[in-house]
Chains A and B, each alone.
Chain A
Amino acid sequence: MRRFITLPLLFLALLNYAAPAMAEPVVVVNARSSVTQLSQDEVVNIFLGRYRRFPGGGAATPIDQPEGNPLRAEFYRKLVNKDLDQINAYWSRLIFSGKTLPPKSAENAAEVLRLLSANPGGIAYIERNLLDSRFRIVMELR
């Protein structure tokens, strides 16, 4: 019995591992935004609610990929080396006060693009292949 449980888990793990390897999120902003380049710290501050402004001024509105999108986990892992549970635990502490909210979570990946393009101050992470002119890469995650 035990063998039957282990095998699907291993499969899942392989799957998860394989996906990020393929998907490489990049941090992008609305092309209309003046922001061209952001440091990793600046990206952390914005996504984890510390500052909601770009370093050059202007409000920043972070947009999260929907839950379940492997890119989201990939992004936070690469950004702050935390898994999503940890990120969620982090936010759960902050939500209590109601003062800082987690980034808006899009319904799907497409909505991310739409929200970003609609919001000049928006900032999100997407798969590189989805990149187009409406967006400008400000940071690459390696």
Chain B
Amino acid sequence: MTLPGQGAIDLLRMRGLLLRSTLVVIFAALLASIAAVAFTAYITIQRAHQASETRLNELLDTIESTLSVACFAKDKTLAGELAQGLLSNSDVLAVTISTEQKVLVNKQRAQTTPAEDAHPTALLKRLIYSPFDSQKEVGHILLTPDPEVIEARIQEEVRFAAIQLSWQLAMVAFAVAAVMLLFIVRPIKAMSDRLHSMDPTTGERLPIPRRHGNTEIGQLVNDINALAERLVSALAAERHLRLAREIDEKKYHAIFDNAESGIFILDNTGSLLSWNAAFGRLFEINLAGPADQFSWLNIGLLAWDNPDQIAHLSQTALRQAHSVSEDLLIHFPDGKRRWVNIVLSPVGENLLQGVVHDVTPHKEAEAFARQLVVTDPLTGLANRLGLEASLRSLIQEYALSQRGGFTLLLLNLDEFRSINEGMGLPAGDSILQTTTSRLSSCVKNGDSIARLSADSFGIILNQMIQTDVADKICNHILALIRQTYFIDGSPINLHASIGITRFPLDANDVPNLLRQAELAMDSAKSGGGNTHMFFDPVLAETAEHRRHLQNDLRAAIQNHELVMFFQPIIDLRTQRLAGAEALVRWRHPKRGMVMPDSFIALAEKSGLIIDIGLFALDASCRQLRAWQDQGLDYTLSLNVSGRQIPDGLSPAKLHQVITHYGISASRLALEITEGVMLHDIEKSLRWLNAVHAMGLRIYLDDFGTGYSSLSYLKRFPIDTLKVDKSFVQDMRPDNNEHTLVGAIIAMGRSLGLQIIAEGVELPSHLVALGEMGCHYAQGYYFSRPVPAEEFATTATKIAALLAKPAA
């Protein structure tokens, strides 16, 4: 409706109904009127002819008597007069009057036209009878009516009728058009216009045209609106469905396309109907999807190592109607191999859905692991499992033949751990590899060597159980080990310990053989190493004893058999009791009081030291709290083993316990040895700094017995040195120990450290230490370690002792 032309076209299009119905009405009316006009014309012609004839007859009637006279008398003149009179009537074209014998007159109108011939049959003839005898014919008259006149009359009649009909027709057509326009076209046009711009989804609906509430148009509008309603709801439902489907499809497509696993669909002939990119990559199909040239690619044509397997697998899946899985090998033409795990699941309609993973790394790792299980990667020797397998097979062999037997050697490099820690793992690895080659040189075919742990080797001497030969071989081995190793040009000397056990002499199963060999080796090592030892049942007993002890110790911790003892420490400057060293004791139900020396080593070895340490911490803190409650400002020092650092006695745990008892951290001191710091310097240093920062004091215990490295004293946050009791006990005036203790004290003081002398047993010690400037003293001179309940009494005794002048 923007352009007038467009509007006209729209109008035309919209008024098509109007045009059409009007045309039909006009056409029908036209037909009817043509028929009517034709009928009218026909009737008019008939009537005109009749009327003409009637008129002529009437005319004749009027002159009949005269005519009969003329004919009777054969009077031409009279006849001529009559004819003339007749011709004066416009209807008459010609007149002929005749008697029986001759024509009296034959007259025609002057303006006669050739149309005369047109109606020869239209002649009107009348017989004329005698005026005196009505039976007697005396002549006749022929009248020719003028067709033109009739014609003209007809034409006029017809024209009139046509004009009348045309008017009626025009009126009817106009009325029909108006009705169509008003009642049908305009409402429909309005609806159509409204429909063009209507958006039913926004709830717009057609209004019912005015005055059409009860008409078919109104009904149509209601129907259209109802239809729109249904369409909108159907569309909404459809859109919702489509969205959901699209999202689903996208999800599945994303999963399908981006899956790392190959996914494919297979029909029962083995044709691949569809596969994803991962599948294409796996099988090195160049195109990601099934392009034309790859349509109906058969799965059997892929680079299977054995195509029969996949054919068999898919047949099985189809037949059993449940998922099947198998690991299959792909073998590419270029020689590359790849393992895949394939899972085929029937999805109905004779189709299989398949998922393929590349399991080559798993397979390789598996193979590697299988190898690894029995092999030591560093030396290429069998590992413990490999050795055990060899032992088992030898034992089985023996069970069959009942002949031979073998000797098992367990070799451990002495002090290898310190080499590893001091020179680094590569140095250790190098030594192990050299050792391996040295060992290999002294065994014969049929014997086997294995590496059991870091520095342990197992050697099976097959078909050999003679003690002297074993002795000789061991000596040879030990001599080879003693040869100098060179690491980056530096010479290193090592020695080893060997434990020996024999099958079936000493044991007849693998675990026992290994345990016996280990016991023998431990025995050799505890003697200083560089030797070999045959298994002895006594060793087993000792080991058994140790095992019992360990179990007892575990139970002791649970049963609260451990107790804390406290050995006083005296401040030499103030001559007062300053505090104590906390020491753990085991109150064994059968063996009585057990000293730490007997179980601490075992506890460290078994890890029980952690629990014991926590117990000691708790007991110490509780004691400090008790003292604090009594108004005593004593300090306590607690021994810490290397196994407890850094996690066994973490700074967090220390903080928790100290806070729990509400004591000052400065009252608690931790005693460590130099060995602790050697173990893992970085970790130990971090731990020491952490606990020192909490306010705890750090005592360096047993000073003088180890490396006594001065640099450590500077690097580590040490507050106090404890001079080892072995020096103090042996102090005599002017002996070495006296000098040493004096030097340690002087050095410590010069570094700003506090010094505690342990092992003070004689008054002379006290005097000497006092002269040397030692800060604290501890020893039997004052008191042995005492249980908490005795400490107060001890303190009183010490006070009394100190009050006496030194003798």
Partner-B contacts on A (CB < 8 A)? 41, 44, 48-50, 79-82, 90, 93-94, 96-100
Residue among A50, A80, A96, A100 with most chain B CB within 10 A: A50
Mind listing 14 A-B residue pairs with CB under 8 Å? A41-B136, A44-B133, A48-B72, A80-B133, A81-B132, A93-B66, A94-B75, A94-B78, A96-B81, A97-B77, A97-B78, A98-B77, A99-B73, A99-B75
Smallest CB–CB gap between A64 and chain B, Å? 16
Tell me the complex Cα distance, A97–B72, Å: 14
Contact of A80 among B66, B73, B132 (CB under 8 A): B132
Interface class of chain B by DSSP: helix
Identify which of A50, A79, A96 contacts B72 (C-beta below 8 A).
Answer: A50
Judged by a CB distance under 8 angstroms, whether B725 is at the interface is no
Asked whether B72 lies within 8 Å of A93 as measured between CB atoms, the reply is no
In the complex, which range does the number of interface residues on chain B fall in?
10 to 19
- Cα A50 to Cα B75 in complex, Å, equals 9
Q: Which residues of B contact A82 (CB under 8 A)?
A: 132
Provide the bound-state CA to CA distance between A100 and B104, in Å.
Answer: 14
Q: Which residues of B contact A79 (CB under 8 A)?
A: 132
Q: Are A48 and B75 in contact (CB under 8 A)?
A: no
Choose from B74, B78, B133, B136 the contact partner of A96 (Cβ within 8 Å). Answer: B78
Q: Are A99 and B72 in contact (CB under 8 A)?
A: no
What chain A residues lie within 8 Å of B69 (beta carbons)? 90, 93-94
A48 with B73: CB separation less than 8 A: yes
The answer for the CA separation of A90 and B69 in the assembled complex, in Å, is 7
User: Which residues in A have their C-beta under 8 angstroms from that of B72?
Assistant: 48, 50
B76 at interface (Cβ–Cβ under 8 A)?
Answer: yes
Residues of chain A lying within 8 A (CB to CB) of residue B131: 90
CB distance from B66 to the nearest CB of A (A): 6
* A44-B132, A80-B132 known; A50 vs B78 contact (CB < 8 Å): no
Q: B70: which A residues are within 8 A, CB to CB?
A: 93
B residues 534-581 touching A (CB-CB < 8 Å)? none
- How far apart are A100's CB and chain B's nearest CB, in angstroms? 5
Chain A residues lying within 8 Å of B74, measured Cβ to Cβ, are 50
Contact A50 B77 (CB under 8 A): no
Number of A-B contacts (CB under 8 A): 41
A-B contact sample (12 more), CB < 8 A, given A48-B73, A93-B66, A97-B77: A48-B72, A48-B132, A50-B73, A81-B132, A90-B131, A93-B70, A93-B78, A94-B69, A96-B77, A97-B75, A97-B76, A100-B75
Q: Give A44 to B75 CA distance when docked, in angstroms.
A: 16
**Residues from chain B with Cβ under 8 Å of A94 in the complex:** 69, 73, 75, 78
Tell me the smallest distance from the CB of B184 to a CB of chain A, in Å. 78
CB-CB nearest in chain B for A93? B69
What is the distance, in angstroms, from A76's C-beta to the closest C-beta of chain B?
10
Q: Is the CB of A99 within 8 A of B77?
A: yes
- Over the window 244-261 of chain B, the binary record of Cβ atoms lying under 8 Å from chain A Cβ atoms (1 yes, 0 no) is 000000000000000000
A93–B65 Cα distance when bound, in Å, is 10
Closest to B99 in A: A50
| Cα(A49)–Cα(B138), bound, Å | 14
A142 to B593, CA, bound (A): 213
Question: Is A49's CB under 8 angstroms from B73's CB?
Answer: yes
Q: Are A100 and B132 in contact (CB under 8 A)?
A: no
Complex Cα spacing A44 to B136, Å: 12
Of all chain B residues, the one with the shortest Cβ separation from A47 is B132
Q: Smallest distance from the beta carbon of B134 to chain A beta carbons, Å?
A: 11
CB distance from A84 to the nearest CB of B (A): 14
- State whether B132 touches A99 (Cβ < 8 A): no
- Chain A residues, Cβ within 8 Å of B76: 97, 99
Alpha-carbon separation in the docked complex, A59 to B503 (Å): 205
Across the two chains, which residue of chain A brings its CB closest to B71?
Answer: A50
| Most interface-central of B75, B78, B132 (chain A CB within 10 A) | B132
Complex Cα–Cα for A71 and B133 (A) = 22
Shortest distance from the beta carbon of A125 to any chain B beta carbon, whole Å? 16
Cα of A72 to Cα of B133 in the assembled complex, Å: 19
Which residue on A lies nearest to B75, using beta carbons? A97
A71 CB, min distance to chain B CBs, angstroms: 19
Closest to B66 in A: A93
* A81 contact set on B, CB distance < 8 A: 132
Q: Compute how far the CA of A94 lies from the CA of B76 in the bound complex, rounded to whole angstroms.
A: 10
CB distance from B568 to the nearest CB of A (A): 204
Cα(A27)–Cα(B451), bound, Å: 198
**A-B pairs with the 10 shortest C-beta distances?**
A97-B77, A80-B132, A97-B78, A93-B69, A97-B75, A100-B73, A94-B73, A49-B73, A44-B132, A99-B75
Chain B 52-77 interface 0/1 with A at a Cβ cutoff of 8 Å (1 = within) = 00000000000000100110111111
A97 to B105: give the CA distance in the assembly, Å: 14
Instruction: Tell me the bound Cα distance from A94 to B133 in angstroms.
Output: 18
Give every chain A residue within 8 A of B133 (Cβ-Cβ).
41, 44, 80
Alpha-carbon distance A50/B77, docked complex (angstroms): 14
